Amino acid sequence: MQDATEDGDREVVIEVRGLRNQFGDHVVHEGLDLDVYRGEILGVVGGSGTGKSVLLRTIAGLIEPVAGTVRVLGTDVLDAGSEERSRLEARWGVMFQDGALFSSLTVRENVEVPMKVVEDLDPAITRTLAGLKITMAGLPSTAEGKYPSELSGGMRKRAGLARALALDPEIVFLDEPTAGLDPIGAAEFDELIHGLSRSLGLTVFLVTHDLDTLHAVCDRIAVLAERKVLVTGTMHDMLSVDHPWVHAYFHGPRARAALDTATSKEGG
């Protein structure tokens, strides 16, 4: 793995070493190493089937890898006891692709679910805080009482984000946050993630296909290919990598267009 950024003294919050994931004969990851530093927004890209979501799920402890270690906030995710794990889970939040909201609960009740682990919390406070999180995620307060099936895709994603942020986690995992959103909605969502991560001091692990998102919000990009993290670095670093897939990805017409808009925004 060639690391293009030098962050020797920054705190590593997610540390993946020698990860191997395998489903039957199909090896998804082999010898995968990855570091995520505190406070950064890391974008994970890769072709379809390179195991981006599998990596996210492994780090979040939903998939048990065949080999390797995953340490999050200093705790070994794979080895942690149930108490250690639940303590860890309160310190991270996950937003799944379509929000994965509980369909039988309203949006507000969904956001209140993670807060239930906090003992002796006044229901009125829970209610207000949930409402606050929903507003912070950019949903109108009329959405609070609605059920997930009554929301549009973009609103469900926002509600999913609100639930992921319910306990003020240190790390949030976002699985394709802008997939299926219209360009305007996607741009707003990018802005939302960026703004929240800065004001709440979040570390964001973001799986995406969206080049605009990479440009707009990611501090660093990790490219998954050939079953491992091929290269990490800033958007700028990516342009000089000459691996064929990386080159095709970051020099394709869509990438050029995204880069152009990003630079023109910075210029103007």
Partner 1 sequence: MASEQLANIEVEVREGRTTAVLEGVFTIRTISAVEDALKDIRPDAKLLVDIEKLEHLDTAGAWSLIRLEQRLAQGGGNFELRGATSQAAALLDTVATAFDRQKRADGSDGSEPEQGLFERLGRRVAAGGATLLGMTGYLGLFLSRLARLAIRPRQLRLTALVHHCEDAGVKAVPIVALMGFLIGVVLAFQGAVQLRQFGAEVFVVDLIAVSILRELGILLTAIIVAGRTASAFTAAIGSMKMREEIDAMRTLGLDTASVLFVPRILALLLMLPILGLIANASGLVGGALMSWIELGISPEMFRVRLLDGDNVNHLGVGLVKAPVFALIIGVVGCYYGMQVKGNADSLGQQTSRSVVAAIFLVIVADALFSIFFSELGV
Summarize as ranges the residues that interact with partner 1 (CB under 8 A): 87, 103-104, 115, 118, 120-122, 125, 128-129, 131-133, 135-136, 140-142, 144-145, 147-149, 165, 167-168, 195-196, 198-201
- The secondary structure of the chain as a DSSP string is -EE-S--TTSPEEEEEEEEEEEETTEEEEEEEEEEEETT-EEEEEE-TTS-HHHHHHHHTTSS--SEEEEEETTEETTT--HHHHHHHHTTEEEE-TT----TTS-HHHHHHHHHTTSTT--HHHHHHHHHHHHHHTT--GGGTT--GGGS-HHHHHHHHHHHHTTT--SEEEEESTTTT--HHHHHHHHHHHHHHHHHTT-EEEEE---HHHHHHH-SEEEEEETTEEEEEE-HHHHHT---HHHHHHHHSHHHHHHHHHHHHHHH-
Q: Which is nearer to partner 1, 92 or 249 (CB)?
A: 92
User: Which is nearer to partner 1, 78 or 200 (by Cβ)?
Assistant: 200
Residue 188 Cβ, how far from partner 1 at the closest point, in Å? 15
Give me the least distance between CB of 104 and partner 1, in Å please: 3
Q: How far is the CB of 42 from partner 1 (least distance, A)?
A: 20
Nearer of residues 6 and 120 to partner 1, judged by Cβ: 120
Q: Least distance from C-beta 60 to partner 1, angstroms?
A: 20
- Cβ closest to partner 1, residue 1 vs residue 200: 200
